[in-house]
Amino acid sequence: MNDKKLETFSYDDSVVKKFAIATVLWGAVGMLVGVILAAQLADWRFNFGLEWLTFGRLRPLHTNAIIFAFVGNSIFAGIYHSTQRLLKARMFSDMLSNIHFWGWQLIIVLAALTLPLGYTQGKEYAELIWPIDILITLIWVVFAVNFFGTLKKRREKHIYVSIWFYIASIITVALLHIVNSISLPVSLMKSYPIYAGVQDALVQWWYGHNAVAFFLTTPVLGLMYYYVPKAINRPVYSYRLSIVHFWSLIFIYIWAGPHHLLYTALPEWAQTIGMVFSIMLWAPSWGGMINGLLTLRGAWNRVREESILKFFVTALTFYGMSTFEGPLLSIKSVSSLGHYTDWIVGHVHAGGIGWNYMFAAGMLYYMVPKLWKTKVYSEQIAKAQYWTATLGLLLYYVSMVVAGITQGLMWRAVDAKGQLVYPSFIETVDKIVPMYWIRLIGGLLVLTSMLMMIYNLYKSIKNAPKNVEEEEFQAEALDHNKYKNEKGHRKLEGLTATFTVLATIAVLVGTIIEFVPAFLSKDFIEVSEKVKPYSPLEVAGRDIYIREGCYNCHSQMIRPMVSEYLRYGKASEAAESVYDHPFQWGSKRTGPDLARVGGKYPDSWHYFHMKDPRKVIQGSIMPEYTWLFGEKTEYQVLTKKLKVLKSMGVPYSEEEIYNASELAKEQAKEITLNMADAGVPMKMQNKQIIALIAYLQRLGVDMKEEK
Amino acid sequence: MSILFLIIPFALLIALIFIIAFSYAVKKGQFEDLDTPAYRMLTDDEDTNGVKK
């Protein structure tokens, strides 16, 4: 090292340390919530009769905590740690790093407060309300500026493949989040997405699938390409394959969203695109898995000794299994069995626990000793953690696949006379409750393993020497003189970050300006004359349905299959949900589909069912919704709500809008009067349960089959 | 289904960004050497770093 142009620099590891600690703490919280949910499905009494802890409100907290808090913090820790080293540069701005860290933690805390209180957008994995959505966008931009700024001041000309994965993830997550979250506010805590029905479904699953792709997968693959070679101290099996892996994966991933909507009212051709691209994804995914696993070629014996490698190998194996199972489930005929069942729940946990948690554990065991200049406190605990987690994961996965396939087969069983073999839905639930108990044990084991890691890392850090000085490094500066004479666009091209951001913004702005008005005009939404907008009381009831997270267990989408026709009625059509902001098609049937529940039972059936489900259906696992019988319907805000809905194309008359509150009260009175014979007192008329009944009784009525 | 007018341009946009980024990266010589980056990343930090001050 003799060059005169050597520059001295250091890395900002303090932000990495913070993200690492946040990872394990939020990880434990997210898993604890998961365990509570698992218990609730095994025995409804674990809902504790508290509105804040019921399954429908808690499940979004679990998914958001695991995705954005646990995996989110882990990828930030890894990105901040590896990027600085790969680019031989300190992060662009320590201040931005800190804003990013604290801003992200604030978002998580806000999520943990709002979701149990019932403030939700009603879209899976995008439940957070609009002010938090804006905060997420801002913090993400801070992250992007910080990252691209570092890229600009790098001292290494070649960008290692990990960095490519980070770039793609940062840009795409921003795009997905913004497009999916556009909504018009009614108040600080409530807004309606601008998309409705089938449109909302398409945007939602374009987002939802790519949240898995570009939040849970591509950033972690980038980390994998850094930490696996590092841990084994060998170069990646094939750098060429890693580049092919990257470009083909990100190109194909974005199209696969519609595989979440197979056999729904989404047009056939869109479903086929989703299916075909999903199957294509198999190739790049396995290319990546093979590349990761073969990096260990000739060093497999070390997997026996080192728990870091155990975690990494298991993570890669589960990445491979999940990316095999994903395309499999995207085949229409397989989806017809697996969709809406616990098989999907098993699938995502194979990814979430097998890939994300295992990888994060390996990465932390590699990173923490280096950051704190210490050793892992106990290799024994790490090993015990590994086996506990693996056992828990296997119990979880196997029980869910068994439950899912069992229930899926029961739902579709039709006998020789053309009748359902299991006509009552509850039979198919009772059958799989034992599997829910096994899943609970699996979940408990995974949580235990997480706590073991927290203890192990805590002890490691505690044993670390105090007041270690920040290390300094030297490297040659990137020779910018070469590009000095470039002007105009050539110069812009040299500024990787600026170029990418400008191009994205340019097209984004243009597209929004061009298309948003198109959405706000009612000419663009197909309407069937039979389908009428919800009455004001039904709107109020629908918002309660969304608030309680009913969509977490009930779908509103009957697929065109014999067994579904027999069980639920005529297949759902796109026109039926044109006024649904947001759509509530759902993705899971822990309980039966509700698309045509309107008129199926008397009002009083719903009244008593919501109060105590087991009085009406023996063996039901649904929580009790007692607070709906105490809280009053908010009539005042209905005018504002209808106004917002009208601005998005729902055809309400001026009269309806201004008399919304009166109209709602009238309908509520009528419903309550209807139930007088069943013993429902008139004083209940202004309670939320009545609004909910109004909504439920409306579902699917407009286009019901005429007998 | 008019959402397709939005979602397909967005999907194409993202694909386009990747294609632009790809050809840009190729032009800048990111992929002309497919061997050393894999080795270099192993020597970039505290353990094995030859450039430590």
Nearest CA in chain A to B27: A493
Q: Are A307 and A387 in contact (CB under 8 A)?
A: no
What pLDDT sits at residue A187?
Answer: 94
Q: Minimal CA–CA distance to A315: which of A362, A276, A348, A280?
A: A362
pLDDT at position A211: 87
- For A471, which DSSP code? P
Position A629, amino acid: F
Q: Is the pLDDT at A512 greater than 70, yes or no?
A: no
| A247: chain B residues, CB-CB within 8 Å | 18, 22
SS3 of residue B2 by DSSP: coil
Rounded Cα distance, A138 and A144, in Å: 10
CA distance A565 to A418: 11
- Give the number of C-alpha atoms closer than 13 A to the C-alpha of residue A554, restricted to the C-beta side: 21
Exposed/middle/buried for residue A416 (C-beta within 10 Å: 0-12, 13-18, 19+):
exposed
More confident residue, B7 or A1: B7
A233: distance to nearest CA of chain B, Å? 6
pLDDT at B53: 42
Q: How far is the C-alpha of A306 from the C-alpha of A88, rounded, in Å?
A: 28
Cβ atoms of A628 and A168 closer than 8 Å: no
For residue A339, what pLDDT is reported? 96
Lookup: tokens for A110? 């806000």
d(CA A541, CA A527) in angstroms, rounded, equals 22
Q: How confident is the model at residue A473 (pLDDT cuts 50, 70, 90)?
A: confident
Q: How far apart are alpha carbons A563 and A560 in whole angstroms? A: 9
- Dihedral sign, Cα of residue A394, residue A390, residue A241, residue A140: positive
- Choosing among 3.40.50.720, 1.20.210.10, 3.40.190.10, 3.40.630.30, the CATH entry for A9-300+307-411+418-477 is 1.20.210.10
Q: How far from each other are the two terminal CA atoms of chain B, in whole angstroms?
A: 61
pLDDT, tens only, A619-640: 999 999 999 999 999 999 999 9
Q: Which residues of B16-50 are buried (b: 16+ CB within 10 A; e: fewer)?
A: ebbeebbeebeeeebbeeeeebbeebbebbeeebe
Chain A CB contacts of B24 below 8 Å: 493, 496, 499
Helices A425-462 & A379-412 angle (0-180, nearest 10): 170
Which among A164, A172, A473 has the least Cβ separation from residue B14? A172
Kindly give the pairing relationship between strand A190-193 and strand A6-9.
Answer: unpaired
Residue of B nearest to A178 (CA): B10
Per-residue pLDDT, averaged over A181-198, amounts to 92
Q: Which two tokens stand for residue A301?
A: 């014996």
Q: Which two tokens stand for residue A33?
A: 């919530």
**Spatial separation of the C-alpha atoms in residues A462 and A554, rounded to whole Å:** 48
Across the interface, whether the CB atoms of B51 and A474 are under 8 A apart is answered yes
Instruction: Decide if A29 contacts A65 (C-beta within 8 A).
Output: yes
Residue A460 token pair:
């490691």
Please report, rounded to a whole number, the percentage of residues in chain A having pLDDT higher than 70. Answer: 92
Per residue, the 3-state secondary structure of A319-368, as one string, reads: HHHHHHHHHHHHCHHHHHHHCECHHHHHHHHHHHHHHHHHHHHHHHHHHH
Q: What is the pLDDT, as a whole number, of residue B22?
A: 82
Q: How confident is the model at residue B1 (pLDDT cuts 50, 70, 90)?
A: low
State which amino acid sits at residue A136: I
Partner-chain contact B25 A164, CB within 8 Å = yes
Pairwise CA distance, residues A407 & A226, whole Å:
42
Of A88, A171, A206, the CB nearest to B17: A171
Q: Do residue A503 and residue B15 have CB atoms under 8 angstroms apart? A: no
Q: Given an 8 Å threshold on Cβ–Cβ distance, is A511 in contact with B46?
A: no
Cα(A505)–Cα(A499) distance, integer angstroms: 10
Q: In chain B, where are the structural domains located?
A: 3-43
Could you read off the pLDDT of A316-342 as tens digits, one per residue?
Answer: 999 999 999 999 999 999 999 999 999
Indicate if the pLDDT at residue A1 is higher than 50: no
Neighbours of A192 (CB within 10 A): 25
Question: Is the separation of the CB atoms in A203 and A195 below 8 Å?
Answer: yes
For residue A110, the model assigns a pLDDT of: 98
Domain spans of chain A?
Answer: 9-300+307-411+418-477, 496-525, 536-698
pLDDT higher than 70, residue A494: no
Cβ separation of A203 and B3 shorter than 8 Å? yes
**What is the amino acid identity at position A1?**
M
Class of domain A536-698: mainly alpha
Taken in order A88, A91, A92, A94, is the CA torsion positive or negative? negative
Our separate counts of H helices and E strands in chain A read 27, 4
pLDDT category at A528 given cuts 50, 70, 90 is: confident
What pLDDT digit, counting tens, does each position of B38-51 carry? 888 888 655 444 44
Cβ contacts (< 8 Å) between A202 and chain B: which residues?
A: 3-4, 7
Residue A462 in contact with residue A21, Cβ under 8 Å? no
DSSP notation for A684-702: GGGBHHHHHHHHHHHTTTT
What does the angle CA A176 – CA A352 – CA A357 come to, to the nearest 5 degrees? 115
Inter-residue contact A220 to A75 (CB < 8 Å): yes
The answer to whether the CB atoms of A574 and B1 lie below 8 A apart is: yes
From first CA to last CA, the distance across chain A in angstroms is 88
Distance of alpha carbon A301 from its chain centroid, rounded? 37
- Mean pLDDT for the stretch of residues A438-448: 98
Which residues in chain A have Cβ-Cβ distances shorter than 8 Å to B7?
Answer: 179, 202-203, 206
Chain B contact set for A524 (CB, 8 A): 2
* Interface check B43 vs A, CB under 8 A: no
Q: How many inter-chain contacts (A to B, CB under 8 Å) are there?
A: 127
Contact A632, A668 (CB under 8 A): no
Q: Look at chain A and count its residues.
A: 707
pLDDT surpassing 90 at residue A697: yes
Average pLDDT over residues A483-503: 54
Cα separation, A166 vs A219, in Å, equals: 5
Q: Does A514 score more than 70 pLDDT?
A: no
Interface probe for A, chosen from B14, B20, B26, B49 (most Cβ of A below 10 Å), is B14
- Residue A431: predicted pLDDT: 96
Helices vs strands, H then E, count in chain B: 2, 0
Average pLDDT, chain A: 92
Q: Residues A200, A177: contact at Cβ < 8 Å? A: no
Residue ranges of E strands in A109-225:
183-187, 190-193
Q: How many CA atoms lie within 13 A of A77 on its CB side?
A: 27
Q: Are A501 and A148 in contact (CB under 8 A)?
A: yes
> Would you call B10 and A500 a contact, using CB atoms and an 8 Å cutoff?
no
Q: How many CB atoms lie within 10 A of CB A468?
A: 12
Q: Which of B10, B16, B52 sits opposite A179 (nearest CB)?
A: B10
pLDDT tier for residue B4 given thresholds of 50, 70 and 90: confident
Share of chain A above pLDDT 90, in %: 81
CA atoms within 13 A on the CB side of A161: 36
Q: What is the pLDDT of residue B6?
A: 74
Backbone angles phi, psi at B23, to 5 degrees: -65, -35
Computed on alpha carbons and rounded to an integer, the radius of gyration of chain B in Å comes to: 19
Q: Take residue A293 and report the two structure tokens written for it.
A: 């696993």
> What does the pLDDT average to over A407-430?
96
- Chain B: residue nearest A8 by CA? B53
Q: What is the pLDDT of residues A571-580, one digit of tens each?
A: 999 899 999 9
Q: Which two tokens stand for residue B40?
A: 């270099």
- Strand residue runs (E) in A70-219: 183-187, 190-193
pTM of the model: 0.91
Identify whether the C-beta of residue A205 lies closer than 8 Å to the C-beta of residue A260.
yes
> Which amino acid, A650?
V
Taking the C-alpha atoms of residue A318 and residue A338, their distance in angstroms, rounded to an integer, is 19
**Taking CB atoms and an 8 Å limit, are A504 and B17 in contact across chains?**
yes
